[in-house]
Structure 1
Amino acid sequence: MDRHDVDWKGYIPAITTPFDASGAYDQEAQAALLEWLHGERLHGLVVAGTTGEWFSMTRAEREAQIRLTGAQLKGKMTLLCGCNAYTAQDSLSYAEVAAEAGFDGILVCPPPYVVPTEDETFAFYKEISDNSPLPICIYNWTRGTNVDLSLPLIERLADLEKVVALKNSTPSLRNFLKTFFAMRDRLRIFGFGMDPIGTSMVKNEGGDGLMGAGAVLGSDQPDFFNAIWAGDMEKARELGDKDMILMREWFAADYGGKFGAAQAIFKTALNLQGLPGGHVRAPLLPLNEEQTDIVRDTLTRLGRKLV
């Protein structure tokens, strides 16, 4: 398999997982959020990713989220399941549930905390590839794993049977572009921001898209890519500027939140718009009043309707 065996492209956000005030997984709110996301014409979505707080969810909750999402949206948009775990066996156990639920692929980062060597990372992905029922998107998430996948390692990983895509969330633009030009004929590459560089790369070089988090601007974010594909560059610049204001004001260069956890920022942004963002779960903390006002001010200036 390679990039030509899947049709993943455009804006495929990693979405939040709603928890209620007691910290319980709120499946009713999850279903409502999925309905809204589908109505906003997203090109796909990732569940149980970093933004989805997979690290504080039980196995039963993650499996319930996978099944709920599949039952509601399979066949309607690209569905990728975050299968991050410390062992390949655990990742594969979630991949099996995702396949049964009708997902299109899985997203997997190197084991967090472990900081494996390149050979260990390759062996981890090889075991998953050899046994996965679904195509794999490698997740290069330097902030969360303390590993920045090198180009030689990515080239090795691209030789694995089920690897078809790369979400390259590296803080180094140079490394991102170097990897893109080396691998674009073999892998679908995600990570193009909605700035002038990302716009040019999507328009002129065949960049595939962005697995940006949250989808808090709704249809404005997928429509950025739709506008580029339609040749409406003025609209693409307008929509891209909105997303970049959000990124500059809320996030640092390594994609961590400037004034709170990214998950808390996205959930606050959804809640302020009357959408089912819900609460974060410990160890993350909710935003305080001053931090919430920052999010509210940004959304107001972006023309979002608040409750």
Structure 2
Amino acid sequence: MNRDDVAWSGYWPAAPTPFTRSGDLDTDALAELMQLYARMGVDGVLVNGSTGEWFSQTGDERRTVAEVAVDAVAGRFPVVVGVSAYTARESADLAKHAAAAGADGVLATPPPYVHTSAEETVQFFHTVSTATALPFMVYNWPRGVSLDMGTIPGLFARLAGLGNVVAIKDSTGDWLSMLDTVEAVSDRVRVFGSFLHRRGLATLLELGGDGNIDGGGVGAPFAVPFYRAVAARDADTARTWADKYRALSGRLINPDYSGVYASPIPQLKAVMNLLGQPGGAVREPLLPVTDAPTLDALRAVIAESGIAEASELTVGAGRAG
């Protein structure tokens, strides 16, 4: 397989997994979230990624999340299931379930905590990516796994050569390193990275790159039309949407993907809840955002960015349904 075997591009939310306040998996809210994404016109969705709190779920819960998401999306856009785990065997088992559930692809980081060598990383991805016939997305997430694959010369090129690998999600905090990834492998695999700003627009139009997969989809009302404009090669319109998106995301997320006001996932779910979206609660070890000053600061970001008004139609439709 290669990049031409999938049509993956544009704006994809990395979906949070909604939990109830008592900590139970909220499958109704998850299905509602997929419906919201459909109304927003997203180009795909990632479930059970980092934002999906896979690390606090049981294996059965992860399987349930995959099944609910695939059923709710019903083929309207691609569903890629995160299968990151500490061993290749566990990741492969989750990938096999995702294939059986009808997912369009699977994604994994290197094993967290282990800090695998180049050879170990290649072997891990070979094992997991060949566990099924599904298209596979390699996920570079240095903040979560303490390994930045972009710092190892030639590693992405080797991974792009694996049989089922069709995409790389490069979520390094080093933007120039991400550009190196685009330059090195975007002729062979899709590259999702940090493009939702003016520098990213220039990269998409001149160097390459395919899309963004970011936390929660809060910025979708700005990001979706940005990528529509990019596809139309309408740089002026794309810049307008990029500026709107940046005015929101730049006040919530730091360049290293940490949150400005709280841990990224609790902060995200707090914003979603303030917008009336089905983000749900977090699970331990994460803690919810409950203090008044932080919530007031998040309300100010929402108000000043204009995202509430931009989201009103889709959220209103969700409430009516």
Report the TM range for the smaller structure's normalisation.
over 0.9
The one-letter code of the counterpart of 1:301 is E
- Whether 2:87 is the aligned partner of 1:84: answer no
Which 5+ residue runs of structure 1 have no aligned equivalent?
none
**Aligned match of 2:240:** 238
Q: Distance in 2 between matches of 1:95 and 1:50?
A: 16
* Shift, 1:217, TM fit: 2.6
Counterpart amino acid of residue 230 in structure 1: A
- Counterpart for residue 137 of structure 2: 137
- Check if 1:28 corresponds to 2:31: no
Match of 2:319 in 1: none
**Is the contact made by 2:182 and 2:208 (CA closer than 8 Å) also made in structure 1?**
no
In the alignment, residue 219 of structure 2 is paired with which amino acid? L
> What code does the residue aligned with 2:41 have?
R
Equivalent position of 1:47 in the other structure: 47
Amino acid at match of 1:7: A
Report which stretch shifted further, 230-239 or 62-71: 230-239
2:304 pairs with 296, 301, 306, which one? 301
Q: What is the rounded CA distance, in whole Å, between the counterparts of 2:29 and 2:179 in structure 1?
A: 38
Q: Is the Cα–Cα contact under 8 Å of residues 95 and 131 in structure 2 kept in the other structure? A: no
Q: Which residue of 2 aligns with 1:280?
A: 282
SS state at 2:284 partner: coil
Q: Secondary structure at the match of 2:308?
A: coil
How high is the TM-score relative to the length of structure 1?
0.96
Q: Give the Cα–Cα distance (whole angstroms) in 2 for the partners of residues 154 and 132 of structure 1.
A: 21
Q: Secondary structure at the match of 2:148?
A: coil
Question: Is 1:189 equivalent to 2:180 in the alignment?
Answer: no
- 1:279 is paired with a residue whose SS is coil
Shift of 1:277: 1.1
Name the SS of the counterpart of 1:240 in structure 2.
helix
Q: Find the counterpart in structure 1 of residue 5 from structure 2.
A: 5
In the alignment, is residue 264 of structure 1 matched against residue 266 of structure 2? yes
Per the alignment, residue 180 of structure 1 pairs with 182
Relative to the length of structure 2, the TM-score reads 0.92
Could you say what secondary structure the match of 2:107 adopts?
strand
Distance 1:241 1:264 in 2: 25
Q: CA separation in 2, counterparts of 1:302 and 1:274?
A: 16
Deviations 1:69-116 (A, max 9, x none): 111114210111011101111111111121122211111100001111
User: In the aligned structure 2, how far is the partner of 1:272 from the partner of 1:229?
Assistant: 32
How many angstroms does 1:11 deviate by? 0.6
Taking only the aligned residue pairs, the percentage that are identical comes to: 38
| 1:163-199 deviation line (CA, Å, top 9, x unaligned) | 1110001111221111211111111011032111111
SS state at 2:79 partner: strand
Equivalent of 1:292 in 292, 295, 310: 295
Could you tell me how far apart the structure 2 residues matched to 1:218 and 1:164 are? Answer: 24
For the 8 Å contact 1:136–1:165, the answer to whether it is kept is: yes
In structure 2, do the counterparts of structure 1 residues 45 and 274 end up closer, same or farther at CA, with 3 Å as the change threshold? same
Alignment of 1:110-125 (within 5 A): 110-125=110-125
Greater mean deviation of Cα atoms: 287-296 or 24-33 = 287-296
Is structure 2 residue 59 aligned with structure 1 residue 59?
A: yes
Summarize the alignment of residues 151-170 of structure 1 with structure 2, pairs less than 5 Å apart: 151-170=153-172
State the 1:151 CA deviation. 4.0
- Kindly tell me the number of residue pairs found equivalent between the two proteins: 307
1:228 and 1:285 mapped to 2: Cα distance? Answer: 38
Secondary structure of the 2:130 match is helix
For structure 2, the 5+ residue unaligned runs are 313-321
- 1:212 corresponds, among 211, 214, 221, to 214
